[in-house]
Structure 1
Amino acid sequence: MLQAALIAASLTAGHAVQNADVAYTGPIRRDEPKIYRMTFAATVSTPMERRAENRLNFNLQDTPIVFPLIEQGAYSEIDASSLAGHLWLGNVEDTTLPQRSRIDRGAPMGTQLAIMPIAQFQGQSLRWEIAFDVQCWASEADDAALGQIAWPREWPAEVSDALKPQMYIESDDEIFKATVERVSEGKLRMVPPYYAAKDLIRYCLNEIRVSGDGINKGYNGELQGLEMIGAKQTATSGTGGPHDLVCVCVAMLRAAGIPARPVIGISEGGRKGRRGRAEFLSWGEFYLPGAGWIPFDPDAMRGKGLRNADVKRPWSQLGTIRDLNERIPLAYHFIPPVSVSVPRNPAVWGWDMRPVKLQYVDQFINLGIVSKGAGAIRVPQAPGGTR
């Protein structure tokens, strides 16, 4: 188990959460909190071979496993004291893991990184897991008030990472800059940023054909990670998965000078609401001064009759998302924003295989969600501030 005292000190250092008994009454508020126990477990192995003697072994030494933590997101908060991690090498638990584990701060977008080093291992399969309690809120937006917010002279430094390109979101590519100019007819800043964001998101919904569910599974239905190609390739081809649609929307907003980020998380049943099975899903957030982070779910917005909808009217699944308290945010990056490698499919975590790196590695992921009931009404000045 990760050392709770170390985790708590690291997570709360220099950060205080404002508690209140009444909901924030600004342009967007968060309410109806729910608490969950989240477990993310991964079995990592070398690929099977027809002849057992041909199967490769891991040769690992001081190999860090890296898992992102959103300490306090706009609509979620981790209970630091509940954080726990485990590691099994072969079938034997490494009970010395707590002595080596740590939390690194300073990653982009306020992400913290749980580091679980593998001291030494030679073998073909290992398993690790991380678990924590998290409180999640629903969102409720005052659409008219959001539409009154003007473009700032400059964005807060705390959201600058949300204006930069990242893996799968090539927002500095000319295709996005040119598209923003064309869609806005060169008049982007003549309308409030909230309405500009809605119009750009609508364009993405109209232009991108979504194929598949964005999940890669094995022959027997095992979860192997996300299936995606990224914003640039999706924008070029006009086709991608639901995670790619999120990437295109975020890339367009960043190219327009509006801070935006993807949110990769899990929920029970995923998009299809299959109870008893936790699955990946992703959505987006963009930032407005005086309001904070505005959530939007591009995949859920499809088919909602938005092609000719008035940007001054509320849109389904943008701003107000009542089931946001049933989603657990895991990361703002599909791959941790550090020098790591990943198995065949991205799944928010990564590792740095040392000293021998294998080109192909298989992973099987198990996601667990246990509801712990209603949460406390803890509302900051705005949802998540700039965090």
Structure 2
Amino acid sequence: MGAITPPVHRTLQGDSMKRRTFLAIPVLSVAAMLAPVSIAAVSVATGALPQTAANRPVLLRTRPKLSEIRLEVELFQQASLDGRSGTVTLNGNTPQSTNVNTTPTYQAAGVSLGVPVLVRTSWCDTDFTKYVARATVDGLDAATDPSKIFTRMPGTAEATLKYEVPFPRGAAESLLLRTTYQVQRWELDVDERAAATATWPREWPSGVDRFLKQEAGIDPTIKALQAVAEGATPGGSRSVSPFVAARNTVVAISKGWKFANSGTSIYGQKGALRGINFTDSGIWGIEAGGGTPVELAATCVAGVRSLGIPSRVVYCLTQRGRARDRDSKGAAAEFRFVCEFFLPNIGWIPFDPMIVRQNAATTQATGVVKGFANVEDLVTTLPLAFRTVADGYEKADRYALWGWKGNVTVNADRAVSRIGFDASGRGNGKIPQMPAPVSDETP
């Protein structure tokens, strides 16, 4: 991939997750992160949790909604900027630039693109028995084989939509991938009292060990992070159940986190969702005292992993309305980061660090933390991936879950990309309640 010149390369210095693998977490504020956390406000006594009905699943799917998803990835030529007026050409409605650039936006015989999807999570089932896949180059249908596009990763809930798209004239100004498929999503009702009684296993089930290890942007071996996570519970994490230890750790990290920009997403022209919002410069993490929402999610997951509990970020898309960033005008979608941790015989329990952070300061001594375990609006959240770029591919101009590969030459002054989705309601699910899956294994 060394031959690829990433679009808008000037933006790349700030969003490399791999390069900033928690460089910020050495020794600063172990005390500062622990001091604000009232452990009394996050009770370690499981008896303080609310009572729930007996003989019900710990993770219960409720209020199902059926939807048809249209997932899109687009590479296109952004409008030229008029340096005198600062305006761009958008649909012919603003002044035309006098600058003429004859260099194609993308030059190659073709390109390979990978778009991740998740077949199943605790709150979503995806149906790819029937799907429609389409690729267009400069507005014309490209020759693709739909039967080869959907590819499962054995033993996991992960899959990739693999598009091999030729450029008939050896160049292109625009490329659009569109995949239409069905999902059923639920709200998730978690019996926190029952979850808090689950004990530490002698060993974790096969398949979850990858979510204990270090990976790009998530490093559970950092000593200062380990100190925050272990110190979040009086007596140490092993003095309580995994559920309580994870909860205390997430509150400890989230409560003192500061945002310079609380937006989850980066946008381009016409509200195009370009990628995930990373810190553009400088360090982030515990030493820096904060970072962006995705960096908070990664830090929380690293903290939970440092306790020896499998944890991961689920990278999702949702409809506009959650973010507050000023660059998102007209955008229809944004990223959301729902984290999870695993309990044997129970499954993956979600938490949203953004919601935890908003409510950590007012958490009462009930053992219940808003945004932890029982998470709002999952039924409108589309889970796509457990990593920031599709496995086996590289990011283009931003980390945006999809990736590409191929010998592509890019005109970085004009090239831009977007990812987005539409969800069309198809009614309620036929079964109003059902247990959530206890593992990632799927038929």
TM bracket (short chain): 0.7 to 0.9
Q: Distance in 2 between matches of 1:379 and 1:159?
A: 26
Give the fraction of aligned pairs with identical amino acids, expressed as a percent: 23
User: Taking structure 1 as reference, are residues 24 and 337 closer, same or farther at Cα in structure 2, changes over 3 Å only?
Assistant: farther
Equivalent residue number for residue 91 of structure 1: 139
**What is the root-mean-square deviation of aligned Cα atoms in Å?**
3.0
- CA drift of 1:195 comes to 0.5
Q: Distance in 1 between matches of 2:59 and 2:381?
A: 18
- CA drift of 1:378 comes to 8.1
Equivalent residue number for residue 336 of structure 1: 390
Which piece of structure 1 moves more, 188-197 or 54-63? 54-63
Q: C-alpha offsets along residues 47-82 of structure 1, whole Å, 9 cap, x if unaligned?
A: 777743363442334532111121121111111123
Q: List runs of 5+ in structure 1 lacking aligned partners.
A: 1-22
Task: Name the aligned partner's letter for residue 192 of structure 1.
Answer: S
Q: Report if the CA contact (8 A) 2:63-2:432 is conserved.
A: no
- CA drift of 1:321 comes to 2.6
Secondary structure of the structure 2 residue equivalent to 1:235: coil
Task: Name the aligned partner's letter for residue 154 of structure 1.
Answer: E
Q: Report if the CA contact (8 A) 1:212-1:241 is conserved.
A: yes
- CA drift of 1:202 comes to 0.3
- CA drift of 1:106 comes to 3.5
Equivalent residue number for residue 138 of structure 1: 187
- CA drift of 1:264 comes to 1.5
Equivalent residue number for residue 347 of structure 1: 400
Q: Distance in 2 between matches of 1:276 and 1:372?
A: 23
Q: Distance in 2 between matches of 1:157 and 1:138?
A: 27
Q: Report if the CA contact (8 A) 1:168-1:229 is conserved.
A: no
Q: C-alpha offsets along residues 313-361 of structure 1, whole Å, 9 cap, x if unaligned?
A: 22222222352222121112121232x2222221111111x22354945
Q: Distance in 1 between matches of 2:234 and 2:77?
A: 52
Rg larger in 1 or in 2? 2
Q: Distance in 2 between matches of 1:376 and 1:276?
A: 32
Matched, 1:42 2:88: no
Pairing 1:233-272 to 2, within 5 Å after superposition: 233-271=284-322
Aligned length: 359
- CA drift of 1:116 comes to 0.9
Equivalent residue number for residue 349 of structure 2: 294
Q: Report if the CA contact (8 A) 1:202-1:307 is conserved.
A: no
Task: Name the aligned partner's letter for residue 233 of structure 1.
Answer: W
Q: Report if the CA contact (8 A) 1:151-1:193 is conserved.
A: yes
Task: Name the aligned partner's letter for residue 228 of structure 1.
Answer: F
Q: Distance in 2 between matches of 1:110 and 1:226?
A: 22
Equivalent residue number for residue 4 of structure 1: none
Matched, 1:207 2:240: no
Secondary structure of the structure 1 residue equivalent to 2:437: coil
2:424 aligned to 334, 359, 370, which one? 370
Could you state the TM-score of these two structures normalised by the residue count of structure 1? 0.83
- Identify, as 1 or 2, the structure richer in helix: 1
Pairing 1:103-252 to 2, within 5 Å after superposition: 103-106=151-154, 109-120=156-167, 121-184=170-233, 187-210=236-259, 211-229=261-279, 233-252=284-303
- Identify, as 1 or 2, the structure richer in strand: 1
Q: Distance in 2 between matches of 1:130 and 1:302?
A: 35
Q: Distance in 2 between matches of 1:71 and 1:355?
A: 30
Q: C-alpha offsets along residues 187-245 of structure 1, whole Å, 9 cap, x if unaligned?
A: 22111111100100001111211332121112543221211249x83333222222221
- CA drift of 1:168 comes to 2.8
- CA drift of 1:305 comes to 4.3
Q: Report if the CA contact (8 A) 1:163-1:258 is conserved.
A: yes
Task: Name the aligned partner's letter for residue 213 of structure 1.
Answer: G
Which piece of structure 1 moves more, 370-379 or 43-52? 43-52
